[in-house]
Chain A
Amino acid sequence: MRVVIDETLCEGNAECMKIAPEVFVVGDDDRARLVVDPPPEALRARIEAAVRRCPRQAIALRE
């Protein structure tokens, strides 16, 4: 599982961090990044929720 964050789209709304803090963190630059890469398969459901809920649709899940 590969998770890709589009830095040009991300505006630091931090919804991903609320849904899956083990995977996403929003830095001081107001951009989300991965805490672990690749993230563990066990967290797939919450990662998918973060992809859906991202306000700017900046997160993509690649198998």
Chain B
Amino acid sequence: MLQLDPYAWEFHEDPYPTYRRLRDEAPLYRNERLGFWALSRHDDVLAGFKDTAHLSNADGVSLDRAVDGAASDRASFLAMDPPRHDEMRGLVARGFTPKRVADLEPHIRAIATAHIDRFIERAECDFIREFAGPLPMDVVSELLGVPGEDRDRLRALAETLLHRKDGIAGIPPAAADAARSITAYFRDLVVARRRQPSGDLASALLAAELDSARLSERDVIAFLFLMIIAGNETTTKLLGNALYWLWRNPAARDAVRADPGLVPGWIEETLRYDSSTQMLARTVRGGVAFHGRTLPDGDRVLLLVGAANRDERVFADPDRFDVRRDASAHLAFGRGTHFCMGAALARLEARVALEEVQRRFADFEIEPSGLVRVHSINVRGYAAMPIRFTPCTITRSIPRSA
């Protein structure tokens, strides 16, 4: 029987055959046990993203319920609808436009270089724990104002927060504790910045006004919480998935090695082929029709981004990893009101990080027995990825940014 269980580890191993069956056999799928609908075709997922009037974010974007005592995703602008969403997002969105984040390129390259320098002579590393994990964490931490010594702990908490037990619906106690610990951490940070402001986003948010009122402490903590999860974990997964699929596809690997100008194509194809964000939940407001059925008020709907990105109705030969294809119709960053605010930053981080990988250890090999998969209901990628490589002695030129 066709079943979609977002908590099943077997499903996490390879969700794509399930997605294909859903698109073909049950484009409007119903899971009675877990109480949700799921949309898997590209045009339905796209319509779902665009219809914010009938598909609300106010109950969060995960199937799981909110954690008591945590400023998790229920309190940030990701869990708001227009117009309040637009006002809150507007406070920070101007800092994340492609033009603004482009200024960060030299800084991101310095961070990437520093991490690679630490392991390059060993000719092996754990790509996630020593590079793909810490790099986005450093970038977002410096924007937010998180000191260097706290980052490993916060990253570990973020990983624990996302972890789900095999086949068990709901949030494990350790994940709920992690959510509360991250909240407590940011509460302390907010108190410290209120006492002594600095040039970081935490301080800027404390000073920001909306409708001539300061943001509440809860709003600021929720902002920071969202940034550390959405702005960090997903980029780590993107880098790991990019390396994995290049390794699995020798033709793509040869192509990128011969032409580092293909790095952006490699990134976009990874976003399409194996997106970090696999599914996002919405809640029906009033009622909304799909495939001849009206879904009632209050029902939860999963938008299966990972399934939409493999839809053969939009992408030719969708199960082929092709760094030269036009992948631009992918929905990895959503579309419309909630389009990923950090998309330009994620693309920049990924381009710089993967250019440096190509420049310094293009001949890497992954040790498959050491791969550890993340088991989350939203995010797809690896927690550990041991690799071996020959350090490059020839310094190849860095391609100019487009």
A, B assembled together: yes
With an 8 A cutoff between CB atoms, is B26 at the interface? no
Given contact pairs A30-B100, A55-B333, A57-B50, A11 touches B328 in the complex (Cβ within 8 A): no
Q: Which of B326-370 contact A (CB under 8 A)?
A: 328-329, 333, 335-337, 339, 341, 343-344
Instruction: Determine if A55 and B97 form an interchain contact, defined as CB atoms under 8 angstroms apart.
Output: no
Greatest chain A CB density within 10 A among B90, B94, B97 is at B97
Contact pick for A30, options B86, B90, B94, B329, CB 8 Å: B94
Instruction: Determine if A30 and B97 form an interchain contact, defined as CB atoms under 8 angstroms apart.
Output: yes
With an 8 A cutoff between CB atoms, is A47 at the interface? no
Contact pick for B335, options A26, A30, A55, CB 8 Å: A55
With an 8 A cutoff between CB atoms, is B151 at the interface? no
With an 8 A cutoff between CB atoms, is B98 at the interface? yes
Given contact pairs A53-B328, A55-B343, A57-B50, A13 touches B98 in the complex (Cβ within 8 A): yes
How far apart are A7's CB and chain B's nearest CB, in angstroms?
Answer: 11
Instruction: Determine if B86 and A8 form an interchain contact, defined as CB atoms under 8 angstroms apart.
Output: yes
How far apart are B355's CB and chain A's nearest CB, in angstroms?
Answer: 21
Number of interface residues of B (CB under 8 A): 20
Contact pick for B97, options A9, A11, A53, A57, CB 8 Å: A11
User: How many angstroms from the CA of A28 to the CA of B99 in the assembled complex?
Assistant: 9
Instruction: Determine if B335 and A12 form an interchain contact, defined as CB atoms under 8 angstroms apart.
Output: no
Given contact pairs A30-B94, A55-B343, A12 touches B336 in the complex (Cβ within 8 A): no
Q: Which of B290-348 contact A (CB under 8 A)?
A: 328-329, 333, 335-337, 339, 341, 343-344
User: How many angstroms from the CA of A12 to the CA of B93 in the assembled complex?
Assistant: 10
Chain B residues contacting A57 (CB-CB under 8 Å) are: 50, 335-337, 339
Closest to A13 in B: B98
Q: B-facing mask of A5-48, CB < 8 A → 1, else 0? A: 00011011110000000000010001000000000000000000
Instruction: Identify the A interface with B (CB < 8 A).
Output: 8-9, 11-14, 26, 30, 53, 55-57
Instruction: Identify the B interface with A (CB < 8 A).
Output: 50, 86, 90, 93-94, 96-100, 328-329, 333, 335-337, 339, 341, 343-344
A sample of 17 cross-chain residue pairs with beta-carbon separation below 8 angstroms, ordered by A number, consists of: A9-B86, A11-B96, A11-B97, A12-B99, A13-B98, A13-B343, A30-B94, A30-B97, A30-B99, A30-B100, A53-B328, A55-B333, A55-B336, A55-B339, A55-B343, A56-B336, A57-B336
